[in-house]
Amino acid sequence: MPVFSYKALTAGNYSPVNARIEAKDIRHAKQQLREMGMLPQSLEQVQDQRAEDELKKLMLTFSFGLPEKQLLVFVQQLAVVLEAGIPLIEALFILEQQTTNPKLQQILGEVRQEVMNGKIFSEAMAQTGAFDRLFITLLKTGESTGELDNALFSLYELRDKAFKLRAKVQKAMTMPAISAVIIFGVIILMLTFVIPQFKDFFTSQKQELPFITTMMITLSKVVCDFWWIVLLVSGGIGFWFNNYRQGVGKPVVDRLLIQIPVVGGLVTRVYTLRFISTLHTLLGGGVILTEALDRASSTIPNVDFQTAFTAAKETLMKGGAISKTLEKEGIFPPMVTKMMAIGEQTGEFEKMLKKAIGFMDEEVDAAMHAMTEMIQPLMTVVGGGIILFMFAAIYLPIFQIAKNG
DSSP string, 171-237: HHHHHHHHHHHHHHHHHHHIIIIIHHHHHHHHHHTT-PPPHHHHHHHHHHHHHHHSHHHHHHHHHHH
The total of other beta-carbon atoms located within 10 Å of residue 375's CB is 19
Q: Which of 62, 77, 101 is the last residue of a domain?
A: 62
Mean pLDDT over the full length of the chain: 83
CATH of the domain at 31: 3.10.20
Give the mean model confidence (pLDDT) for residues 188-216: 83
Task: Name the CA radius of gyration of the chain, rounded.
Answer: 30
More confident residue, 49 or 6: 6
Query: Range of 234's domain?
Result: 158-405
pLDDT above 70 for 405: no
CATH of the domain at 195: 1.20.81.30
Q: Which of 37, 62, 87 is the last residue of a domain?
A: 62
Residue 47's identity, in one-letter code, is: Q
Please write the tens of the pLDDT for every residue from 204-231.
Answer: 777 788 888 888 888 888 888 888 888 8
pLDDT above 60 for 297: yes
Domain assignment present for residue 147? The answer is no
The confidence band for 61, taking pLDDT boundaries of 50, 70 and 90, is: very low
Residue 25: which H helix or E strand, with range? none
* Lowest model confidence (mean pLDDT) among 14-18, 144-148, 367-371, 390-394: 14-18
**33 DSSP assignment:** H
Is the separation of the CB atoms in 65 and 118 below 8 Å?
no
| pTM greater than the 0.85 cutoff | no
Is the separation of the CB atoms in 279 and 353 below 8 Å?
yes
The confidence band for 60, taking pLDDT boundaries of 50, 70 and 90, is: very low
Helix (H, G, I), strand (E, B) or coil at 304: helix
Domain assignment present for residue 336? The answer is yes
Q: Which of 62, 79, 106 is the last residue of a domain?
A: 62
As a whole-number percent, the residues of the chain with pLDDT over 90 amount to: 13
How many domains is the chain built from? 2
Identify any residues that bridge with 39 across adjacent strands, giving them in sequence order: 9
Please write the tens of the pLDDT for every residue from 313-323.
Answer: 999 888 888 99
Residue 316: which H helix or E strand, with range? helix 303-317
Angle, CA 356 vertex, CA 337 and CA 273 arms, to 5°: 90
Burial of 32 (0-12, 13-18, 19+ CB in 10 A): buried
